[in-house]
Amino acid sequence: MLRKILLLLLLSTASLAFTDTPPTSPPPQTPQEQTQPAPPPLPSQEIPPLPSSAQLTQSYEGSFIRVIVSLLGLVILVVLTFWILKRLGRSRFGKFGSDKSIHIIERRPLSPKSVLFLVEVGNKRVLLSESQLEVRSLASYDLLEEVAEDK
């Protein structure tokens, strides 16, 4: 209840602070003062002449050069940012990628929607088929058996 009262007081005070006070009206003038127009103010300085076309062209050229330099600076900044992020990503996450235990040895597309994969997992090689609906293991064998067969 106390919060509501304080909020109401705060809002009413704020609304009073932002209300416009009516401007005070100037003292009434006599009819003679109202009909006479005020004389125009005399210029204290002369108006400077307009710049020549050569000066205008130089300013446009300067502006154009500034815009081109700014754009080149932005492009260099973007490229530098991507390069730094690439270097940080490689160094930070490269440690985790060095001891991978799963390698895709070969990939053969059979049709646009099905693919065969030969994958090495630890000491085994697994032949996988991937289709739109499933991934199925077709065959697997140990690498030690393959080395013995080659000899």
For the chain, the domains span 63-99, 102-150
Predicted confidence band of residue 88 (pLDDT cuts 50, 70, 90): confident
Q: What is the pLDDT of residues 33-64, one digit of tens each?
A: 556 666 666 656 678 787 776 766 666 778 88
Rounded distance between C-alpha atoms, residue 95 and residue 45, angstroms: 74
Structure tokens at 58: 């130089």
pLDDT value of residue 130: 94
Alpha-carbon distance values, 8 to 16, 18, 32, 47, 88 (Å)? 12, 16, 52, 56, 55
Interatomic CA distance for residues 111 and 124, integer angstroms: 26
Compare 47 and 99 and report the one with higher pLDDT.
47
User: Is the per-residue pLDDT at 108 higher than 60?
Assistant: yes
CA distances for 132 relative to 53, 58, 80, 111, 127, angstroms: 69, 65, 41, 11, 17
Q: What is the mean pLDDT of residues 85-89?
A: 85
State the average pLDDT for the chain.
76
* pLDDT classification of 100: cutoffs 50, 70, 90: confident
Indicate whether 115 pLDDT > 60: yes
